[in-house]
Amino acid sequence: MTAVLAAQGLIKSFGDLIAVNGVSFEIAEGETFGLLGPNGAGKTTSISMVAGLLEPDNGTVHVAGTQIRTNSTNGRSDIGLVPQEIAIYPDLTATENLRFFGRLYDMPGETLDKRVEEVLEVIGLSERQDDLVSEFSGGMQRRLNIGIGLLHRPRLLILDEPTVGVDPQSRNAILESVEDLSGEGIAVLYTTHYMEEAERLCDRVAIIDEGVIKAEGTRRELVSLVGEKDRIRVTVTGDLVEVARVASELPAVHEASPADSGVDVLANDASSVLPELLSRVAATGANVTGVAVSEPNLEAVFLHLTGKALRD
Partner 1 sequence: MGAATRIAGKDLKLRVRDRSAFIMGIVTPLALAYIFHLVFGGTFSEEALDLQVGLVDLDDTQVSQSLGEALSGLEAEGVLVLTDFDDTASAEASVEDGEIGAYILLNQGLGAAAIQGQPFTIEVVGDVDSQTTTQVTSSIASEFGSAIERSQLSVTTAIALGQPPPPDELAIWGEEAALRPPAFTFVDVSADTRQLDANTFFAAGMAVFFLFFTVQFGVVGILEEKQGGTLARLLAAPISHTSVVAGKAILSFALGLISMTVLIVATHYLMDAEWGPPLGVALLVVAGVLAATSIMGVIAATATSADGAANLGAIIAVILGMLGGTFFPIGQGNDFLARLSYLTPHAWFMRGLANISGGAEWTGVLPAVGALLLFTLVFGTVAWVLLQRKLTR
- Torsion-angle region of residue 130: left (phi > 0), alpha (psi -120 to 50) or beta? alpha
- Please give the single-letter amino acid code of residue 228: E
Which has the closest alpha carbon to 223: 240, 204, 197, 237? 204
In whole angstroms, how close is the CB of 174 to partner 1 at the nearest point?
17
DSSP code, position 188:
E
> Of these, 11, 18, 28, 87, which contacts partner 1 (CB under 8 A)?
87
Per CB under 8 A, does 91 bind partner 1?
yes
Our finding on whether 92 is near partner 1 (CB under 8 A) is: yes
85-93, 218-226, 263-271, 282-290 -> range binding partner 1 (CB under 8 A):
85-93
d(CA 22, CA 250): 43
Nearest to 195 by CA among 270, 115, 295: 295
Q: How far is the CB of 151 from partner 1 (least distance, A)?
A: 11
CA pair distance 166, 99, nearest whole angstrom: 25
Among 9, 58, 89, 184, binds partner 1 (CB under 8 A): 89
Does 287 interact with partner 1 (rule: CB under 8 A)?
no
Nearer to partner 1, 101 or 302 (CB): 101
Cα–Cα nearest to 273, from 291, 289, 250, 242: 250
Q: Which stretch binds partner 1 (CB under 8 A): 2-10, 94-102, 118-126, 281-289?
A: 94-102
Treating both helix axes as pointing N-terminal to C-terminal, what angle do 94-104 and 138-150 enclose, rounded to 10 degrees?
Answer: 30
| Nearer to partner 1 among residue 76 and residue 128 (C-beta) | 76
| Nearer CB in complex with partner 1: 131/295 | 131
List Cβ neighbours of 88 (8 Å cut-off, separation of 6 or more): 97, 133, 141, 144, 145, 148
Smallest separation, CB 58 to partner 1 (Å): 17
- Beta strands 58-63 and 66-67 are antiparallel
| Closest to partner 1 by CB, 96 or 295 | 96
Q: Which of the ranges 76-84, 180-188, 236-244, 296-304 carries the binding residues for partner 1, by CB under 8 A? A: 76-84
Q: Of 34, 42, 52, 147, which one interacts with partner 1 (CB under 8 A)?
A: 52
Query: DSSP letters along 107-152, please?
Result: --HHHHHHHHHHHHHHTT-GGGTTSBGGGS-HHHHHHHHHHHHHTT
Asked if 194 is part of the footprint of partner 1 (rule: CB under 8 A), the reply reads no
Q: Which stretch binds partner 1 (CB under 8 A): 26-34, 98-106, 228-236, 263-271?
A: 98-106
Binding region for partner 1 (CB under 8 A): 48, 51-53, 55, 70-71, 73, 76-77, 79, 81, 83-89, 91-92, 96, 100-101, 103-106, 148
